[in-house]
Amino acid sequence: MNSNVSQSLLTTEDTSPVRVINPAGASSFLLIGDHAGKAVPARLESLGIGDADLSRHIGWDIGIGELGALLAERLDAVFVRQTYSRLVIDCNRSPDQPDVIATVSDGTLVPGNAGLTEAERAARFAEIHAPYHAAIAAELARRDALAMPTVVIALHSFTPMMSGPMRDQARPWQIGILHDGGDTVFAHALLDVLRREPDLTVGDNEPYRMDLIDYTIPRHAYPARGYAEIEIRQDLLGSTADCDAWADRLARLLPLALERAGRI
């Protein structure tokens, strides 16, 4: 399959790699969705795995595209979201990370990612990865030029169960907040307000840690911009009603955290 792929990846059949929802949003929050979409460029022929696997958690962050749009409306926030599947290229990985174009994901082989030439890899970076990050950088520059305060909120979702050695266990957290370097004041304030919700089990750098693997937040928020990476369990985002409920909750709690962090 790869031998038929030219150096140019996207065609007129394909959609833009990045969408900016509510571009005139006035909120202090900038929402981003690294894994919000599950599209695959036509030339990659579904990566050889088909829609059933692309619709699983390995293909995208289930619910985040819908949640982000709903939250953007409630907060009057800008939402910058990726269109293509994380299996085409993972926009939350740096170019030198081995899994930026994964050949295996959670035990599933991805034939369309095997044996890529340098030109094929370069096309995915140039036409999908780079435009997405350029859109985030452009929005941050626009806001800075207008002296708009900004807290970057990266929206992600996680599977209730992850397979593999030492990983076959249920994940009890409904939501987790990831943070590491840079300005973590807002992330800790958000943890505080979430822990006041009696029905939530809140993960502090659970089920994942933000570390050197993460790319988007360190690139765009460090060293001094407030941020939080939010992870919501995917079985709680399975319907529009679920996404609505989380959008309502986060639209209520994010401004409280902003106030608690002293950013307003």
Beta strands 78-82 and 18-21, pairing class: antiparallel
Please tell me the predicted confidence (pLDDT) of residue 18: 98
- B/e letters for 160-172, b = 16+ CB within 10 Å, e = fewer, are eebeeeeeeeebe
Which domains, from first to last, does the chain contain?
A: 2-260 (3.40.630.40)
Please tell me the predicted confidence (pLDDT) of residue 161: 77
- B/e letters for 75-85, b = 16+ CB within 10 Å, e = fewer, are bebbbbbbbbb
Global confidence as pTM: 0.94
Contacts of residue 43, Cβ cutoff 8 Å, sequence gap at least 6: 4, 5, 6, 9, 11
Contacts of residue 159, Cβ cutoff 8 Å, sequence gap at least 6: 57, 106, 171, 233, 234
Please tell me the predicted confidence (pLDDT) of residue 68: 98
pLDDT in 10s for each residue of the chain, 264 residues: 444 445 689 999 999 999 999 999 999 999 999 999 999 999 999 999 989 999 999 999 999 999 999 999 999 999 999 999 999 999 999 999 999 999 999 999 999 999 999 999 999 999 999 999 999 999 999 999 999 999 999 999 999 976 654 455 678 999 999 999 999 999 999 999 999 999 999 999 999 889 889 999 999 999 999 999 999 999 999 999 999 999 999 999 999 999 999 965
How confident is the model over 145-192, as pLDDT tens digits?
Answer: 999 999 999 999 999 976 654 455 678 999 999 999 999 999 999 999
